[in-house]
Amino acid sequence: MYYANALYADKLYAYIVENDFDTVVMPHLFPAEAVTYMQKKHHLRLASYFIATDYTCIPFTEETSPDYFFVPHEDLIPEFAGRGIPEEKLIPLGIPVSGRFVELPPREECRGRLGIPEGRRCILLMTGSMGYGNVESMVAKLWERTGEDTCIYVMGGTNDGFCASDKEFGNLEERAYRTFCGDLNELMKGLKEKYPSAEVFFATPLPNVLQDYLMSERDYLLPQQKFVDVIIALAKEYNYHVIDLYNSNILDSHDANVVAEYVPDGVHGNHAGYQIIAEHFAAELVQFYEEKGTAQPLVVSGNSVDGSTLDGQTGGVNGSVPEEQTADVNKTVSDRQVESKEE
């Protein structure tokens, strides 16, 4: 994680120096990693403060070295200190919470919206984007200690690749329940049964330098290629279409220039990065409908290919995209990147 965020740290350093900032407040791990790198490499004299916006010490926090860590509660000090962070740097000031989370609708109305039964106690477990924490054992213990009058809700993580071992990954021969292979198969099978005539597209993930770093730290993790291979294999089996970002050679965060320009944290695109992905998707969809020989719809989710809204009613005959417009959409991403660098 440290080296992934170091990739854009020099640009951040230049921005800080040019604007003569003397203090940096970091409400996220990624900038804290970048500032730590800057202070080590450039010996930057800068007051730095990290705000822990999770009610736990998230992984890799111990890699950072701000002047002080503002943590949500004094009860978390032992957890942070246990990860090697000096206790004298831990300041339990809490986390500012927006008023909209305090001024909530009546409980009965909230339960109605969410479909939660009346008269039952509710327990919510939130594990974060990567699903950290011993959530399975925690749910098992809560299940033992509660009765039928209690509902347990778990908000699970979504970044399977950052946590999955061979056990969670599974295989295409068994397609077991609660494995990546089994659950993806169930999803595709269900879509085919419920929407047999729909044109369904699946996308593979972008190549991710963070995955390689995490694999060097956790020997049980799997390479992204395994997930990509399963997505492609199952899509072929169910006759679905694949937009293969992984093998497209765009926005590969192993390239330092790509990180600097389009993927600042090594994982998520900035505005320019997501625009490149969107144009790649658009080009793939236009090519698909052209080869199929059918008129493609003018709009997707209320927005037309040329940027106008539903009310604009622009486009070609029967909602197809004009030839010159299609050519622009099909402009290659590599051309766009070259232009950006020349500018």
- The pLDDT tens digits for 3-25 are 667 767 888 889 999 999 999 99
More confident residue, 298 or 22: 22
Report the DSSP beta bridge partners of residue 241.
Answer: 201
Q: Highest mean pLDDT range out of 96-100, 306-310, 335-339?
A: 96-100
pLDDT at residue 322 greater than cutoff 50: no
pLDDT at residue 53 greater than cutoff 60: yes
pLDDT more than 90, % of the chain? 38
CB atoms within 10 A of CB 95: 14
Identify the band that residue 301 occupies on the pLDDT scale cut at 50, 70 and 90. Answer: very low
Report the DSSP beta bridge partners of residue 304.
Answer: 299
Residue 193 has a pLDDT of 94
Q: Using alpha carbons only, give the angle 330, 334, 337 rounded to the nearest 5 degrees.
A: 110
Q: Extract the tokens encoding 212.
A: 């390689």
Region 137-160: mean pLDDT is 82
Residue 309 has a pLDDT of 44
pLDDT at residue 26 greater than cutoff 90: yes
Identify the band that residue 172 occupies on the pLDDT scale cut at 50, 70 and 90. Answer: very high
Identify the band that residue 324 occupies on the pLDDT scale cut at 50, 70 and 90. Answer: very low
pTM of the model: 0.54
pLDDT more than 70, % of the chain? 79
pLDDT at residue 157 greater than cutoff 80: no
173 contact partners, CB below 8 Å, separation of at least 6: none
Residue 20 has a pLDDT of 93
Report the DSSP beta bridge partners of residue 123.
Answer: 152
pLDDT at residue 251 greater than cutoff 60: yes
Residue 51 has a pLDDT of 94
More confident residue, 121 or 338: 121
As a whole number, the mean pLDDT across the chain is 81
Residue 336 has a pLDDT of 40
pLDDT tens for each residue of 185-206: 999 999 999 999 999 999 999 8
How, if at all, do strands 47-51 and 23-26 pair? parallel
Residue 334 has a pLDDT of 42
| Cα→Cα distances 66→9, 35, 69, 89, 147, Å | 15, 8, 7, 9, 45
